[in-house]
Amino acid sequence: MFHLNEKIAVVTGGGSGIGKAVAILFARQGAQVHVIDRNEEACDATVKEIQQANGKAFKHACDVTIQQQVKDVFNEIDKIDIVVNSAGVSHIGNVESTTESDFDRVYSVNVKGVYNCMQAAVSIMYKNKSGIILNLASIANNVGLQDRFAYSMSKGAVYAMTLSVARDYIDKGIRCNCISPARVHTSFVDDFIKKNYPGKEAEMFEKLSKSQPIGRMAKPEEIAALILYLCSDEASFITGCDYPIDGGFITLNN
């Protein structure tokens, strides 16, 4: 079950975190994976790790905020079965402390970047009458998170765009879903704690972990496993859905 043999998959943000875990898992399951990341060195590292495990992978240094770059990369790949939009940035701040440049940066990557990739993907998938798009949303779609104004805005938009694309292309053989993770232990989390809480890293890591009812952060590989299912043939009846993967945060954290 859940094999991706002969599938061609594109994973944005594949140089690190969830995107890297998805790229590695997809390759292990038989897909030809095209890894997209603005950081060419990180992108190259993911591809080499896949190739060393006898998987098929190709790197594409690309900034998802620049539409022409995205179109050029997607047209170069040509046939695309699966797109996972994992590229994203975060921001700490409420509506007062969020500057215009902060807001624009988050919007540019998390909203426009997803739009650019979905637009480029759909035009290719439409010709093939099949395709799967999986977007990374967040628990911020469903609950109010403190000091996450711009980030919540962007992930709410991802959820809305997911529903729109799912509805518009349901009769064109294209499925579109999103998932909503809670906090995931990636290098971003470690860097954030180190920058904002020097000398208290262990204490803050434990505090952030315990903010989720299950008592810990998710592993990128756990998020990747859900994405694999939703992008597999076994999930062929699923479209227009958002799947929380949150250690009980939404329903139990009250």
Joined tokens for residue 52: 């060393």
Which residue type does 132 have?
I
Q: Which residues contact 224 (CB under 8 A, 6 or more apart)?
A: 18, 21, 22, 24, 25
Residue 246 per-residue DSSP state: S
Long-range contacts of 228-231 (CB under 8 A, 24+ apart): 228/2, 228/4, 228/22, 228/25, 228/26, 228/29, 229/2, 230/132, 230/134, 230/177, 230/179, 231/4, 231/9, 231/26, 231/82, 231/84, 231/132, 231/134
- Read off the tokens for 136: 């990374």
Tell me whether residue 159 is one of the annotated catalytic residues: no
Helix (H) or strand (E) holding 10: strand 8-12
Residue 174, SS3 per DSSP: strand
Any residues with CB less than 8 A from the CB of 25 and at least 6 apart, and which? 221, 224, 225, 227, 228
Torsions phi, psi for 144 (to 5 deg): -85, 120
Tokens 């190709």 sit at which residue? 58
**Given 107, 115, 126, 151, which residue is catalytic?**
151
Which residues belong to the active site? 151
